[in-house]
Amino acid sequence: MKEFELIERYFQQEKLSWCNEHVALGIGDDCAVLNVPSHQQVCISMDTLIEDVHFPKHANPFDIATRALCVTLSDLAAMGAAPLGFTLAITLPKAESNWLKDFSQGLITIAQQYQCPLVGGDTTRGPVLVISIQVHGLVAKNSALTRSGACVGDKVYVSGNLGDGAGALPIVLQDPRLKHRDSNSEMSQHFYRPLPQIKYGQSLMGVASSCLDVSDGLVQDLNHICKKSAVGIELNADSIPLSNALLQRYGQTQALQYALTGGDDYQLAYTAKHCEQGIYIGDVVAGREVSVTGCEMSGAGFQHF
């Protein structure tokens, strides 16, 4: 299959690469052309996922696609941005029709759910599957949520349960294609389809003093807020929200370790004077790092190098 035939058949589909008020020109030219309202700014983020590093070899292509787009969209959620569009660069060992059909269907599912069309990209051949996605989002001028606004006296919140992403990894590694849809399959979906908190992030505009998504582990990620805001954070281990599925499978001690250092949750962690909708887990204090009362931690979060 030739490159442009591949693009037209699997990626240049109306359900995946549509135009709208913000996308004047999408796939089919040298560049995409995007319309940006004068009162808004563009937020851009990019993630690269590599086979056998970020997902198991022989994983279901539909699941690979949903994971790749979801984890990148999560960065827009952390900034309070609304999705505009995304680009895809994919390196394939070989072009298999059934694989590409399932992969594109996974992209369609998430693109439709979050109204984020594919606007361009690149395909090439290489020794291992590599997927790079760049997302573009819109946010009102000078109002994006950042990591640098936390103040001593703020409270620390998260948007939902933590630890399920890390707890899902052993299940996924045992059954990469998720062929056995048993009681563990719901937890496994936290790995392959960690739903980005787009609406939640937008609701924090004017409320949160700082925000980020939990990708590399709660403690490690909150240390970024500490560094950018020149503050410390004190967490209460008893307040960390854990799902019943995680607790039943691993027990309290291991579940809490996954929540604190495991990563792959893609919930939002943020600071605010007060927030009705959030789950309160700690406080911003004087200092320069994260501490946890009520447990001993092991592990330091995900490290790329």
What average pLDDT does the segment 156-170 reach? 95
Residues 273, 279, 283, 288, Cα dihedral to 10°: -110
Asked, for residue 183, whether it belongs to a domain, the answer is yes
Indicate the residue among 93, 114, 140 that finishes a domain: 140
Place of tokens 């503050």: 231
Per mean pLDDT, which range of 26-40, 186-200, 264-278 is the poorest? 186-200
Asked, for residue 32, whether it belongs to a domain, the answer is yes
pLDDT digits (tens, 9 = 90+) for 17-32: 999 999 999 998 999 9
> How many domains are contained in the chain?
2
Residues 125 and 196 both lie in one domain:
no
Cα-based distances in Å from 72 to 44, 67, 182, 213, 273: 10, 9, 28, 10, 28
What average pLDDT does the segment 206-235 reach? 98
Residues 121 and 215 both lie in one domain:
no
Residues 110 and 187 both lie in one domain:
no
Q: Which domain holds residue 199?
A: 155-293
Residues 162 and 132 both lie in one domain:
no
Per mean pLDDT, which range of 60-64, 219-223, 236-240 is the poorest? 60-64
**pTM of this structure:** 0.93
More confident residue, 297 or 102: 102
φ, ψ of residue 115 in degrees (nearest 5):
50, 60
Cα-based distances in Å from 305 to 53, 99, 295, 301, 302: 12, 30, 27, 12, 9
Place of tokens 């291991």: 254
Indicate the residue among 107, 140, 173 that finishes a domain: 140
Residues 231 and 126 both lie in one domain:
no
What average pLDDT does the segment 269-276 reach? 97
Q: Is the pLDDT of residue 204 over 80?
A: yes
pLDDT digits (tens, 9 = 90+) for 52-80: 889 888 889 999 999 999 999 999 999 99
The C-alpha atoms of residue 143 and residue 113 are separated, in whole angstroms, by 25
- Give the bridge partners for 85, in sequence order: 136
The C-alpha atoms of residue 67 and residue 229 are separated, in whole angstroms, by 30
- Say what the pLDDT of residue 122 is: 94
